[in-house]
Amino acid sequence: MTWSTPPRKGRSTAGASGDDLEEAWLVAQAAKKSQARAAVWGVSVSIGLRGQLNSFVLLVLLLFVVLAVSVTTEIGNGAKPQAPTTVPPADDTGAGDDAGRGDQVGECDMSSGRWVYDDVAYPLYKESACKFMSDQASCEKFGRTDLKYQHWRWQPYGCNLPRFNAAKLLGKLRDKRLAFVGDSLNRNQWVSMICLIDTATPTLHKSMSRNGSLVSFKIHEYNASVEFYWSPLLVESNADHPVHHRIADRIVRAGSISKHARRWADADLLVFNSYLWWRLPSMKVLWGSFEAAAEGAHGAVYEVTDSLRAFELAIYTWAEWLELHVDRSRTRLFFMSTSPTHLRSDEWEAASSVGTRNHRCYNETEPIAGEGHRGRDTEPAFARAVEAQVRRLGARGVAVRVLNVTQLSEHRKDAHPSVHRRQWDPPTEAQVRARARDPGSDADCIHWCLPGVPDVWNQILYAHIVSS
Protein backbone atom coordinates (compact mmCIF):
# COMPACT_ATOMS: atom_id res chain seq x y z
CA MET A 1 0.00 0.00 0.00
CA THR A 2 1.43 3.36 -0.98
CA TRP A 3 1.42 6.28 1.39
CA SER A 4 -1.37 8.83 1.09
CA THR A 5 -2.24 11.98 2.97
CA PRO A 6 -5.03 11.25 5.49
CA PRO A 7 -8.29 13.22 5.50
CA ARG A 8 -8.51 16.11 7.92
CA LYS A 9 -11.15 16.30 10.64
CA GLY A 10 -14.56 17.53 9.61
CA ARG A 11 -13.86 17.08 5.89
CA SER A 12 -15.23 14.67 3.34
CA THR A 13 -13.37 11.35 3.24
CA ALA A 14 -13.47 11.62 -0.55
CA GLY A 15 -10.26 13.63 -0.25
CA ALA A 16 -11.57 16.99 -1.51
CA SER A 17 -9.83 20.12 -0.32
CA GLY A 18 -11.61 22.90 1.56
CA ASP A 19 -11.84 24.99 -1.63
CA ASP A 20 -13.38 22.04 -3.49
CA LEU A 21 -16.01 21.55 -0.80
CA GLU A 22 -16.86 25.25 -0.72
CA GLU A 23 -17.23 25.34 -4.52
CA ALA A 24 -19.49 22.26 -4.48
CA TRP A 25 -21.67 23.85 -1.79
CA LEU A 26 -22.01 27.09 -3.84
CA VAL A 27 -22.93 25.12 -6.97
CA ALA A 28 -25.59 23.22 -5.07
CA GLN A 29 -27.03 26.39 -3.60
CA ALA A 30 -27.17 28.03 -7.04
CA ALA A 31 -29.03 25.01 -8.44
CA LYS A 32 -31.59 25.19 -5.66
CA LYS A 33 -32.24 28.88 -6.29
CA SER A 34 -32.66 28.28 -10.02
CA GLN A 35 -35.20 25.51 -9.48
CA ALA A 36 -37.10 27.61 -6.97
CA ARG A 37 -37.36 30.54 -9.41
CA ALA A 38 -38.76 28.24 -12.12
CA ALA A 39 -41.28 26.82 -9.68
CA VAL A 40 -42.52 30.25 -8.60
CA TRP A 41 -42.89 31.34 -12.27
CA GLY A 42 -45.09 28.29 -12.93
CA VAL A 43 -47.27 29.17 -9.95
CA SER A 44 -47.72 32.76 -11.10
CA VAL A 45 -48.95 31.56 -14.51
CA SER A 46 -51.41 29.26 -12.81
CA ILE A 47 -52.66 32.13 -10.71
CA GLY A 48 -53.25 34.22 -13.81
CA LEU A 49 -55.38 31.48 -15.38
CA ARG A 50 -57.54 31.15 -12.31
CA GLY A 51 -58.17 34.87 -11.68
CA GLN A 52 -61.87 34.32 -11.00
CA LEU A 53 -61.33 32.19 -7.92
CA ASN A 54 -61.84 33.52 -4.48
CA SER A 55 -58.66 35.29 -3.22
CA PHE A 56 -58.66 33.29 -0.01
CA VAL A 57 -58.64 29.98 -1.93
CA LEU A 58 -55.85 31.32 -4.14
CA LEU A 59 -53.74 32.19 -1.09
CA VAL A 60 -54.17 28.72 0.41
CA LEU A 61 -53.38 27.11 -2.94
CA LEU A 62 -50.27 29.29 -3.37
CA LEU A 63 -48.92 28.35 0.05
CA PHE A 64 -49.55 24.63 -0.62
CA VAL A 65 -47.77 24.72 -4.00
CA VAL A 66 -44.77 26.66 -2.67
CA LEU A 67 -44.43 24.15 0.18
CA ALA A 68 -44.64 21.21 -2.23
CA VAL A 69 -42.07 22.76 -4.56
CA SER A 70 -39.70 23.36 -1.67
CA VAL A 71 -39.92 19.74 -0.50
CA THR A 72 -39.52 18.43 -4.06
CA THR A 73 -36.46 20.60 -4.62
CA GLU A 74 -34.78 19.33 -1.45
CA ILE A 75 -35.47 15.70 -2.37
CA GLY A 76 -34.28 16.25 -5.92
CA ASN A 77 -30.99 17.53 -4.67
CA GLY A 78 -30.51 14.47 -2.43
CA ALA A 79 -30.33 16.59 0.69
CA LYS A 80 -30.14 14.70 3.94
CA PRO A 81 -30.14 15.83 7.52
CA GLN A 82 -26.56 16.62 8.60
CA ALA A 83 -25.17 14.43 11.38
CA PRO A 84 -23.31 16.27 14.12
CA THR A 85 -19.54 16.32 13.67
CA THR A 86 -17.88 14.20 16.34
CA VAL A 87 -14.39 12.94 17.02
CA PRO A 88 -14.38 9.20 16.26
CA PRO A 89 -13.49 6.79 19.05
CA ALA A 90 -9.81 5.93 19.30
CA ASP A 91 -10.37 2.32 18.24
CA ASP A 92 -12.16 3.32 15.03
CA THR A 93 -9.76 5.89 13.64
CA GLY A 94 -7.95 3.54 11.31
CA ALA A 95 -5.06 5.46 9.85
CA GLY A 96 -5.18 8.20 12.42
CA ASP A 97 -5.83 11.89 11.91
CA ASP A 98 -3.15 14.31 10.75
CA ALA A 99 -4.85 17.19 12.57
CA GLY A 100 -6.39 15.09 15.34
CA ARG A 101 -5.79 14.83 19.03
CA GLY A 102 -2.58 12.90 18.46
CA ASP A 103 -0.86 16.17 17.46
CA GLN A 104 -1.53 17.52 20.94
CA VAL A 105 1.61 15.84 22.18
CA GLY A 106 1.55 17.36 25.66
CA GLU A 107 -1.94 16.01 26.38
CA CYS A 108 -1.38 12.38 25.42
CA ASP A 109 0.89 9.58 26.58
CA MET A 110 1.55 8.00 23.20
CA SER A 111 3.58 5.20 24.81
CA SER A 112 0.50 3.78 26.54
CA GLY A 113 -1.92 1.87 24.35
CA ARG A 114 -2.44 -1.40 22.48
CA TRP A 115 -1.70 -3.00 19.12
CA VAL A 116 -4.65 -3.18 16.71
CA TYR A 117 -4.58 -5.30 13.56
CA ASP A 118 -5.27 -3.04 10.58
CA ASP A 119 -4.83 -4.50 7.08
CA VAL A 120 -6.48 -1.50 5.42
CA ALA A 121 -4.34 1.49 6.42
CA TYR A 122 -1.12 -0.36 7.26
CA PRO A 123 1.67 -0.77 6.36
CA LEU A 124 2.53 2.84 5.59
CA TYR A 125 4.74 1.73 2.67
CA LYS A 126 5.86 -1.41 0.89
CA GLU A 127 9.27 -2.90 1.55
CA SER A 128 10.02 -3.16 -2.18
CA ALA A 129 8.98 0.46 -2.79
CA CYS A 130 11.76 1.93 -0.64
CA LYS A 131 14.85 2.49 -2.78
CA PHE A 132 17.02 2.83 0.33
CA MET A 133 15.86 -0.25 2.24
CA SER A 134 18.51 -2.09 4.28
CA ASP A 135 19.05 -5.81 3.78
CA GLN A 136 19.11 -6.17 7.56
CA ALA A 137 15.44 -5.15 7.68
CA SER A 138 14.23 -6.67 4.38
CA CYS A 139 12.45 -9.70 5.81
CA GLU A 140 10.12 -10.20 2.85
CA LYS A 141 13.05 -10.01 0.41
CA PHE A 142 14.82 -12.77 2.33
CA GLY A 143 11.97 -15.24 2.36
CA ARG A 144 9.43 -14.24 4.97
CA THR A 145 5.96 -15.07 3.62
CA ASP A 146 3.84 -14.30 6.68
CA LEU A 147 3.39 -10.53 6.46
CA LYS A 148 0.94 -9.96 9.29
CA TYR A 149 3.70 -8.15 11.21
CA GLN A 150 3.34 -5.25 8.75
CA HIS A 151 -0.33 -4.61 9.56
CA TRP A 152 -0.33 -3.85 13.28
CA ARG A 153 -1.21 -0.28 14.24
CA TRP A 154 -0.30 1.26 17.58
CA GLN A 155 -3.39 2.79 19.21
CA PRO A 156 -2.67 5.00 22.24
CA TYR A 157 -5.34 5.19 24.90
CA GLY A 158 -7.37 8.39 24.75
CA CYS A 159 -5.86 9.87 21.58
CA ASN A 160 -4.73 9.05 18.05
CA LEU A 161 -1.19 8.63 16.83
CA PRO A 162 -0.92 11.10 13.93
CA ARG A 163 -0.35 9.48 10.58
CA PHE A 164 3.05 10.25 9.11
CA ASN A 165 2.90 13.17 6.64
CA ALA A 166 6.17 13.46 4.71
CA ALA A 167 5.36 16.86 3.21
CA LYS A 168 4.62 18.31 6.63
CA LEU A 169 7.82 16.86 8.08
CA LEU A 170 9.95 18.13 5.19
CA GLY A 171 8.49 21.57 5.71
CA LYS A 172 9.90 21.43 9.25
CA LEU A 173 13.23 20.06 8.00
CA ARG A 174 13.84 22.61 5.25
CA ASP A 175 17.49 23.71 5.39
CA LYS A 176 18.04 21.49 8.45
CA ARG A 177 19.85 18.33 9.59
CA LEU A 178 18.08 15.53 11.44
CA ALA A 179 20.72 13.15 12.81
CA PHE A 180 20.28 9.76 14.47
CA VAL A 181 23.28 8.95 16.68
CA GLY A 182 23.82 5.53 18.22
CA ASP A 183 23.83 1.81 17.45
CA SER A 184 22.19 -0.53 14.93
CA LEU A 185 18.75 -0.08 16.54
CA ASN A 186 19.01 3.64 15.88
CA ARG A 187 20.12 2.81 12.34
CA ASN A 188 17.02 0.58 12.10
CA GLN A 189 14.90 3.62 12.99
CA TRP A 190 16.85 5.84 10.58
CA VAL A 191 16.16 3.41 7.69
CA SER A 192 12.49 3.47 8.66
CA MET A 193 12.50 7.28 8.53
CA ILE A 194 14.10 7.50 5.11
CA CYS A 195 11.70 4.84 3.76
CA LEU A 196 8.72 6.79 5.12
CA ILE A 197 10.01 9.88 3.33
CA ASP A 198 11.20 8.19 0.14
CA THR A 199 8.04 6.21 -0.61
CA ALA A 200 5.82 9.25 0.02
CA THR A 201 7.81 11.62 -2.23
CA PRO A 202 8.59 9.69 -5.43
CA THR A 203 9.13 12.81 -7.55
CA LEU A 204 11.71 14.47 -5.30
CA HIS A 205 15.45 14.25 -5.93
CA LYS A 206 17.12 12.24 -3.14
CA SER A 207 20.62 10.89 -2.67
CA MET A 208 22.71 8.94 -0.17
CA SER A 209 26.35 9.53 0.75
CA ARG A 210 28.75 8.05 3.29
CA ASN A 211 31.71 9.62 5.06
CA GLY A 212 33.18 7.14 7.52
CA SER A 213 30.70 6.59 10.34
CA LEU A 214 28.29 9.23 8.98
CA VAL A 215 25.67 8.30 6.36
CA SER A 216 23.56 11.11 4.94
CA PHE A 217 20.23 10.89 3.08
CA LYS A 218 19.48 14.20 1.40
CA ILE A 219 16.25 15.61 -0.04
CA HIS A 220 17.59 18.24 -2.43
CA GLU A 221 14.47 20.32 -3.06
CA TYR A 222 14.27 21.04 0.68
CA ASN A 223 18.03 21.16 1.31
CA ALA A 224 17.23 18.75 4.16
CA SER A 225 19.26 15.79 5.35
CA VAL A 226 18.38 12.79 7.52
CA GLU A 227 21.60 11.25 8.80
CA PHE A 228 22.88 8.33 10.82
CA TYR A 229 26.12 8.41 12.79
CA TRP A 230 27.52 5.11 14.10
CA SER A 231 28.46 5.54 17.76
CA PRO A 232 27.07 2.49 19.61
CA LEU A 233 28.31 3.55 23.05
CA LEU A 234 28.00 7.32 22.38
CA VAL A 235 31.46 7.94 23.85
CA GLU A 236 34.68 6.82 22.18
CA SER A 237 35.23 3.05 22.17
CA ASN A 238 37.05 0.23 20.40
CA ALA A 239 33.75 -0.62 18.63
CA ASP A 240 33.53 2.65 16.71
CA HIS A 241 34.44 1.34 13.26
CA PRO A 242 31.27 1.42 11.13
CA VAL A 243 31.91 -2.09 9.74
CA HIS A 244 34.53 -3.90 11.82
CA HIS A 245 33.17 -3.58 15.33
CA ARG A 246 32.47 -7.12 16.53
CA ILE A 247 34.80 -7.02 19.52
CA ALA A 248 34.13 -9.15 22.58
CA ASP A 249 36.64 -7.34 24.83
CA ARG A 250 34.82 -4.02 24.87
CA ILE A 251 36.65 -0.86 25.96
CA VAL A 252 35.21 2.65 26.35
CA ARG A 253 36.74 6.04 26.99
CA ALA A 254 33.91 7.13 29.24
CA GLY A 255 35.19 10.69 29.47
CA SER A 256 35.68 11.28 25.74
CA ILE A 257 32.92 12.17 23.29
CA SER A 258 34.31 15.09 21.27
CA LYS A 259 35.76 12.83 18.55
CA HIS A 260 32.20 11.80 17.69
CA ALA A 261 30.36 14.98 18.62
CA ARG A 262 32.21 17.15 16.10
CA ARG A 263 30.49 15.17 13.34
CA TRP A 264 26.97 15.98 14.50
CA ALA A 265 27.49 19.14 16.54
CA ASP A 266 25.68 21.45 14.11
CA ALA A 267 22.61 19.24 13.57
CA ASP A 268 19.25 20.90 14.16
CA LEU A 269 17.58 17.77 15.53
CA LEU A 270 19.48 14.99 17.31
CA VAL A 271 18.03 11.56 18.14
CA PHE A 272 20.25 9.47 20.44
CA ASN A 273 20.10 5.91 21.68
CA SER A 274 22.47 3.52 23.47
CA TYR A 275 21.80 0.31 25.33
CA LEU A 276 22.43 -2.89 23.36
CA TRP A 277 26.22 -2.64 23.43
CA TRP A 278 26.30 -2.22 27.22
CA ARG A 279 24.71 -5.60 27.91
CA LEU A 280 27.82 -7.23 29.37
CA PRO A 281 28.58 -8.21 32.96
CA SER A 282 31.59 -5.90 33.00
CA MET A 283 33.47 -3.47 30.79
CA LYS A 284 36.89 -1.87 30.61
CA VAL A 285 36.97 1.90 31.06
CA LEU A 286 40.07 3.55 29.63
CA TRP A 287 41.46 6.70 31.25
CA GLY A 288 43.79 8.05 28.59
CA SER A 289 43.87 7.66 24.81
CA PHE A 290 43.71 4.49 22.74
CA GLU A 291 46.93 5.58 21.04
CA ALA A 292 48.73 5.83 24.39
CA ALA A 293 47.32 2.48 25.48
CA ALA A 294 48.53 0.84 22.26
CA GLU A 295 52.01 2.18 22.88
CA GLY A 296 51.98 1.01 26.50
CA ALA A 297 52.24 4.55 27.83
CA HIS A 298 52.20 4.99 31.57
CA GLY A 299 49.25 7.43 31.43
CA ALA A 300 46.86 4.84 29.97
CA VAL A 301 44.92 3.22 32.81
CA TYR A 302 42.17 0.59 32.50
CA GLU A 303 39.46 0.20 35.10
CA VAL A 304 37.25 -2.87 34.98
CA THR A 305 33.76 -2.03 36.21
CA ASP A 306 30.22 -3.29 35.84
CA SER A 307 28.53 -2.16 32.64
CA LEU A 308 25.88 -0.05 34.38
CA ARG A 309 28.55 2.00 36.13
CA ALA A 310 30.41 2.45 32.83
CA PHE A 311 27.14 3.51 31.19
CA GLU A 312 26.47 6.08 33.91
CA LEU A 313 29.92 7.58 33.35
CA ALA A 314 29.35 7.74 29.59
CA ILE A 315 25.89 9.31 29.89
CA TYR A 316 27.31 11.92 32.27
CA THR A 317 29.93 12.81 29.62
CA TRP A 318 27.20 12.98 26.96
CA ALA A 319 25.11 15.32 29.12
CA GLU A 320 28.07 17.54 29.91
CA TRP A 321 28.84 17.94 26.21
CA LEU A 322 25.24 18.92 25.46
CA GLU A 323 25.21 21.47 28.27
CA LEU A 324 28.40 23.15 27.05
CA HIS A 325 27.98 22.97 23.27
CA VAL A 326 24.35 22.68 22.16
CA ASP A 327 22.56 25.73 20.78
CA ARG A 328 19.56 25.80 23.12
CA SER A 329 17.55 28.17 20.93
CA ARG A 330 17.92 26.05 17.80
CA THR A 331 18.72 22.39 18.48
CA ARG A 332 16.03 19.89 19.49
CA LEU A 333 17.19 16.82 21.41
CA PHE A 334 15.61 13.38 21.74
CA PHE A 335 16.68 10.13 23.40
CA MET A 336 15.04 6.85 22.38
CA SER A 337 14.37 4.44 25.23
CA THR A 338 15.49 0.81 25.18
CA SER A 339 14.53 -1.38 22.24
CA PRO A 340 13.62 -4.76 23.77
CA THR A 341 14.83 -8.15 22.54
CA HIS A 342 12.92 -11.43 22.26
CA LEU A 343 15.65 -13.99 22.81
CA ARG A 344 13.82 -16.09 25.43
CA SER A 345 10.67 -17.78 24.16
CA ASP A 346 9.91 -19.18 27.62
CA GLU A 347 8.92 -15.64 28.64
CA TRP A 348 5.72 -15.74 26.61
CA GLU A 349 5.00 -19.45 26.18
CA ALA A 350 2.50 -21.27 28.39
CA ALA A 351 3.81 -22.47 31.72
CA SER A 352 3.56 -26.09 30.57
CA SER A 353 6.07 -25.47 27.80
CA VAL A 354 8.66 -23.72 29.95
CA GLY A 355 11.87 -25.69 29.93
CA THR A 356 11.53 -26.86 26.33
CA ARG A 357 14.09 -25.84 23.73
CA ASN A 358 14.24 -22.08 23.34
CA HIS A 359 13.37 -21.15 19.75
CA ARG A 360 13.78 -17.42 20.43
CA CYS A 361 11.51 -15.45 18.05
CA TYR A 362 11.69 -18.04 15.26
CA ASN A 363 8.32 -18.61 13.54
CA GLU A 364 6.53 -16.16 15.82
CA THR A 365 3.67 -14.52 13.91
CA GLU A 366 1.55 -12.85 16.61
CA PRO A 367 2.28 -10.19 19.24
CA ILE A 368 2.36 -11.14 22.90
CA ALA A 369 -1.20 -10.88 24.21
CA GLY A 370 -2.23 -9.06 27.34
CA GLU A 371 -0.69 -5.95 28.83
CA GLY A 372 2.47 -5.12 30.67
CA HIS A 373 4.80 -7.81 29.34
CA ARG A 374 8.43 -7.08 30.11
CA GLY A 375 11.31 -9.30 29.09
CA ARG A 376 14.22 -10.17 31.37
CA ASP A 377 16.74 -8.58 29.00
CA THR A 378 15.31 -5.10 29.53
CA GLU A 379 17.15 -3.53 32.45
CA PRO A 380 15.29 -0.47 33.87
CA ALA A 381 18.43 0.80 35.63
CA PHE A 382 19.87 1.98 32.30
CA ALA A 383 16.70 3.97 31.60
CA ARG A 384 16.89 5.54 35.05
CA ALA A 385 20.49 6.60 34.39
CA VAL A 386 19.39 8.44 31.24
CA GLU A 387 16.41 10.03 32.98
CA ALA A 388 18.63 11.30 35.80
CA GLN A 389 20.91 13.12 33.34
CA VAL A 390 17.94 14.45 31.37
CA ARG A 391 16.52 15.95 34.57
CA ARG A 392 19.90 17.49 35.38
CA LEU A 393 20.07 19.00 31.88
CA GLY A 394 16.52 20.33 32.21
CA ALA A 395 17.42 22.12 35.42
CA ARG A 396 20.25 23.81 33.52
CA GLY A 397 18.11 24.90 30.57
CA VAL A 398 18.81 22.08 28.10
CA ALA A 399 15.64 20.26 27.06
CA VAL A 400 15.92 16.60 26.07
CA ARG A 401 12.79 14.61 25.27
CA VAL A 402 12.94 10.90 26.16
CA LEU A 403 10.66 8.97 23.78
CA ASN A 404 9.42 5.84 25.52
CA VAL A 405 9.14 3.05 22.95
CA THR A 406 10.15 0.18 25.25
CA GLN A 407 6.82 -1.07 26.55
CA LEU A 408 4.95 -0.83 23.25
CA SER A 409 7.76 -2.78 21.54
CA GLU A 410 7.93 -5.47 24.25
CA HIS A 411 4.84 -7.18 22.82
CA ARG A 412 6.12 -7.47 19.24
CA LYS A 413 7.94 -10.82 19.29
CA ASP A 414 6.57 -11.37 15.76
CA ALA A 415 8.31 -8.39 14.16
CA HIS A 416 12.00 -9.37 14.15
CA PRO A 417 13.96 -10.62 11.12
CA SER A 418 14.59 -14.00 12.77
CA VAL A 419 16.19 -16.11 9.99
CA HIS A 420 14.82 -13.89 7.20
CA ARG A 421 17.81 -11.62 6.72
CA ARG A 422 20.99 -11.39 4.74
CA GLN A 423 23.75 -13.64 6.02
CA TRP A 424 26.85 -11.47 5.86
CA ASP A 425 29.30 -14.31 6.53
CA PRO A 426 29.18 -17.96 5.44
CA PRO A 427 28.05 -20.18 8.34
CA THR A 428 30.61 -22.14 10.29
CA GLU A 429 30.31 -25.92 10.62
CA ALA A 430 29.05 -25.48 14.16
CA GLN A 431 26.36 -23.08 12.96
CA VAL A 432 25.27 -25.48 10.22
CA ARG A 433 24.88 -28.30 12.77
CA ALA A 434 23.05 -26.01 15.18
CA ARG A 435 20.63 -24.85 12.51
CA ALA A 436 19.92 -28.44 11.52
CA ARG A 437 18.96 -29.25 15.10
CA ASP A 438 17.13 -25.98 15.74
CA PRO A 439 16.44 -23.53 12.86
CA GLY A 440 15.92 -20.69 15.34
CA SER A 441 19.23 -21.12 17.14
CA ASP A 442 20.74 -17.97 15.62
CA ALA A 443 17.55 -16.04 14.82
CA ASP A 444 17.90 -12.25 14.90
CA CYS A 445 15.47 -11.29 17.64
CA ILE A 446 17.05 -7.89 18.25
CA HIS A 447 16.55 -5.84 15.09
CA TRP A 448 13.21 -5.19 13.41
CA CYS A 449 11.64 -5.94 10.03
CA LEU A 450 10.50 -2.99 7.92
CA PRO A 451 7.83 -1.86 7.51
CA GLY A 452 7.15 -2.50 11.16
CA VAL A 453 7.76 -1.40 14.73
CA PRO A 454 10.36 1.37 14.05
CA ASP A 455 7.75 3.11 11.89
CA VAL A 456 5.70 3.61 15.06
CA TRP A 457 8.77 5.02 16.83
CA ASN A 458 9.07 7.51 13.98
CA GLN A 459 5.39 8.40 14.12
CA ILE A 460 5.91 9.36 17.77
CA LEU A 461 9.07 11.30 16.88
CA TYR A 462 7.20 12.95 13.98
CA ALA A 463 4.40 14.06 16.33
CA HIS A 464 6.93 15.90 18.50
CA ILE A 465 8.78 17.46 15.55
CA VAL A 466 5.69 18.90 13.86
CA SER A 467 3.98 19.99 17.07
CA SER A 468 6.06 23.17 17.31
Contacts for 319-323 with beta carbons within 8 Å, 24 or more apart? Answer: 319/389, 319/390, 319/392, 319/393, 321/257, 321/258, 321/261, 322/393, 322/398, 322/400, 323/393, 323/396, 323/398
> For the chain, how many residues are written?
468
Active site residue 112: no
Active site residue 447: yes
| Contact status, residue 424 vs residue 447, Cβ threshold 8 Å | no
b/e burial code for range 185-209 (CB count within 10 A of at least 16 → b): bbbbbbbbbbbbbbbbbeeeebeee
Question: Per the residue annotation, which of 260, 359, 411, 447 is the catalytic one?
Answer: 447
**Which residues make Cβ contacts (< 8 Å) with residue 130, sequence separation at least 6?**
194, 195, 198, 199, 450
**CA pair distance 424, 406, nearest whole angstrom:** 28
| Contact status, residue 446 vs residue 360, Cβ threshold 8 Å | no
Strand, coil or helix: 306: strand
Question: Per the residue annotation, which of 134, 184, 274, 337 is the catalytic one?
Answer: 184
Q: How crowded is residue 238: how many other Cβ atoms within 10 Å of its Cβ?
A: 17
Residues known to be catalytic: 184, 444, 447
